[in-house]
Copies of this chain bind each other. A is one copy, B any other.
Amino acid sequence: MATGRTHRPATRSRGIPEATVARLPLYLRALTALSERSVPTVSSEELAAAAGVNSAKLRKDFSYLGSYGTRGVGYDVEYLVYQISRELGLTQDWPVVIVGIGNLGAALANYGGFASRGFRVAALIDADPAMAGKPVAGIPVQHTDDLERIIQDNGVSIGVIATPAGAAQQVCDRLVAAGVTSILNFAPTVLNVPDGVDVRKVDLSIELQILAFHEQRKAGEEAAAADTAVAPAARRQPADKGPDGDVPAVMPA
């Protein structure tokens, strides 16, 4: 899960639970797909299946937003898309800068999912002078020297760090000093930021490591488990019921 450190004064007492916020984008994606197919209404059961959660959770999540459904009928797709978009702040345009245009930075610059959701890549920044001026995803790369000016000229408040780990903290400090208050960090390092700045991280190798943990467990299902304390590991046959269930938090990783 990603992480949002800076849990300062608190998670806004009268706000939406963090776990719910993390699922809103999921619902929005599913709703957008329904909208494109011109589906007018959807039940909590159907939408939950499309989003990969269970319906009770979905209804509870929506209850934090308000009463947007109709008993006996379901939810109006278009209306919900609008309400969730507004709640997430996606009805406005968010200029974003990406710092570190290596393989990953280029992938992010080309990522269509940004533009389609209210995000606009305002600038690409890299420390390599040789990159300067070269267009990536149609946007010319600018040099790190101009970072502060770029942030201010574009009114950027969200920055994406895709640099090597060693450069991340320094880039982070400069972004924050220039006015950025939200950072998405892909560098495998912990960033220190002042209060009021949100950081979420995505670490590709961490996700794989978590998978490896469960994979290992499956392998040792009936074979001698790791070592001590053998897991009762019964057959792989969860008495689980429903279609799905689960989805921890996460946040992201």
Interface residues of A (CB under 8 A from B): 1-10, 12-15, 18-19, 21-22, 24-26, 28-30, 32-33, 36, 50-52, 66-67, 76, 78-79, 81-82, 85-92, 94, 96, 102-104, 106-108, 110-119, 157-158, 160, 181-184, 188, 190, 195-196, 198, 200, 202-218, 226-227, 229, 231-238, 240-253
Contact = CB atoms under 8 A, between A and B. Distances in A.
Tallying the copies of this chain within the complex gives 2
B207 A244 contact: no
A205 B2 contact: no
Given A205-B117, A240-B7, A182 B2 contact: no
Contacts of A218: 181, 196
A158 B92 CA distance: 39
Nearest to A117: B205
Contact of A248 (B18, B29, B184, B245): B18
Given A117-B205, A231-B66, A249 B32 contact: yes
Contact of A214 (B8, B116, B211): B8
Given A110-B253, A248-B116, A212 B19 contact: no
A168 to B, nearest CB: 13
7 contacts: A1-B202, A103-B107, A106-B107, A111-B204, A158-B211, A184-B211, A198-B214
B207 A114 contact: no
A84 to B, nearest CB: 9
B202 A204 contact: yes
